[in-house]
Chains A and B, each alone.
Chain A
Amino acid sequence: MIIAKPKPVAKLVEFTEKFDKILLVGCGGCASVCAAGGEKEAAELAVALRHWRQKQGSALAVSTAIITRQCDAQYLDSIAKQVTRVDAVISLACGVGVQFLAECYAGKPVLPGLNTVLAGGAVQAGLWEERCGLCGNCMLHQTGGICPVSRCAKSIQNGPCGGSQHGKCEINPQMPCAWHLIYEKLLATNRLDLMMQYRSPKDWSKEHSVGAKPVRKKVLP
């Protein structure tokens, strides 16, 4: 799942300064699940933005809507009428949702309400952790199911580096060293041969840094 965090309200106040009527669009997908851009968050943000404008002695009309998944073009029409009535739209989806919305409603300013941060999941209530760096070339079969690309601070392939101590990463004594976790897992499963294996430089051309990369699949009609 994609994990996002709400932008500070002050930032959104700044975004909406020049508008009188805005629409906050929540997303029913990941953004809802990670409690950043669902119905509840949209409603709370609407109250905050109206209140802020009131303090300035004017009024901001804020309406809200929710879309099943903003990253899916088939759901975007549902808010067409509401969009025509406002000056701008704030999308409370991940960066993908913002772009799909902006493309669908090309004549309208569509602004990001969230900061999209990582691909991960909840490890306990209210705590999400990164689990995948979208490297395009998954190596989890070599690392005991623990991702060094996203979970090692240096994304190294032949770890752990010399900064690993007491199971923790050199950059943060709270953060487990991914390679220490990998070592323990491989030790416990009798696969230390994988620790000894030299992994040659990774093919980073498979990750996200090479322009908008398409993924094709045959789709049944």
Chain B
Amino acid sequence: MIRSSSKLEQVLNQARFAVTVEIGPPKHSSATGIIKLAEVLKDYVDAANITDNQTANVRLSSIAAGVHLHQAGLEPVIQITCRDRNRIAMQSDLLGAYSLGIRNVLCLSGDHQKFGNHPQAKGVYDLDSIQLVDMVRNLRDKQVFQCGEKIKQHAPRYFIGAVANPFADPFEFRVLRLEKKINAGADFIQTQCIFDMQRFEKFMQMVRQRGLHKKVPILAGVNPLKSARAAEFMQKRVAGMIVPDEIVERIRQAADPKAAGIKLCVAQIEHLKKIEGVAGVHIMAIDWEEIVPEIVERAGIKPGNYPAW
């Protein structure tokens, strides 16, 4: 059943291995950089997520960036966090973004404002991520606003994404929470960056036990490591991540850390392709997006060259 006019939905519906990428908009008001990036990436990925003030730092808005990408021929997935907007502003932005051609949205809680450049800001958290998913679904399937008021015409029909973090705790509950998100209306799932493959395998096993992979496509998150510093940062500073020491060590020991990072990422994708229930990969190469084409080529997952999943 096709629910939206999203191209990403079509790709996932054809049961082809999908590739999405993450783009962080700039900390200024020019879109030149992301438009260039769209040119570089558009033949290598199916869609691009645009972060919503990631790690609570002010950046060019995800919707505005999404429009630029859309115009440049790269399908955007706008991220919406619960940190900065209440249900009124979120719905207003969802209407606005749809009117500008955006068809995919990814719903998440968002990093706490404490992590960003305005730690004194008041966090909103009117809704949580699951309630946000439910709200976007009701806009589409019931044509009602969150308050229950009918949308008389032109209700937005989004393809709705949610995130899962197999590396957060309590581990046994992570699959159940994913199920809650699916029940609330998530159409596709993107996971946190995977470094601990064993734990991810276990997670997917539990996903399959509950048949969740048959309900929604799950895109596995990967992150090419650019340097030992980046690896350490991920390991120590990023909330909800697990980066095994062995991986940090491998990058640290490498004569060419960048090459080692790419090689590792390609190997991870090769591995993920074989896991039942993984419908694609989501490549998070923030500040290193230009490396994505090479990774996609080497992993043999360029759109038009899809293995079935």
Contact = CB atoms under 8 A, between A and B. Distances in A.
Interface residues of A, number: 28
B258 interface: no
Contact of A161 (B129, B134, B167, B179): B129
A154 interface: yes
B7 interface: no
A184 B146 CA distance: 31
Given A171-B112, A198-B183, A162 B128 contact: no
B169 interface: yes
A165 B167 CA distance: 8
A164 interface: yes
Most buried by B among A154, A155, A199: A154
* Chain B: number of interface residues, binned into ranges: 35 or more
Contacts of B131: 157-158, 199-201
B87 to A, nearest CB: 7
B208 interface: no
A146 B292 CA distance: 45
A162 B168 contact: yes
A157 B165 contact: no
A196 B126 CA distance: 20
Contacts of B183: 198
A165 B240 contact: yes
Contacts of A184: 170
A220 B167 CA distance: 57
Interface string A160-201: 111111110011000001001001100000000001101111
B239 interface: yes
A196 B127 CA distance: 17
Contacts of B123: 153-154
B176 A164 contact: no
Interface string B169-184: 1100100110110011
Q: Can you list the 4 inter-chain pairs with the closest CB atoms, starting with the nearest?
A: A162-B165, A156-B128, A170-B239, A163-B239
Interface of B: 82-83, 87, 108-109, 111-112, 114-115, 123, 125-131, 134-135, 146, 163-165, 167-170, 173, 176-177, 179-180, 183-184, 192, 239-240
29 contacts: A153-B112, A153-B114, A153-B123, A154-B82, A154-B109, A155-B125, A158-B180, A159-B128, A160-B168, A161-B168, A162-B168, A165-B239, A165-B240, A167-B169, A170-B111, A170-B112, A170-B239, A180-B169, A180-B170, A183-B170, A184-B170, A196-B180, A198-B130, A198-B180, A199-B131, A200-B134, A201-B87, A201-B135, A204-B126
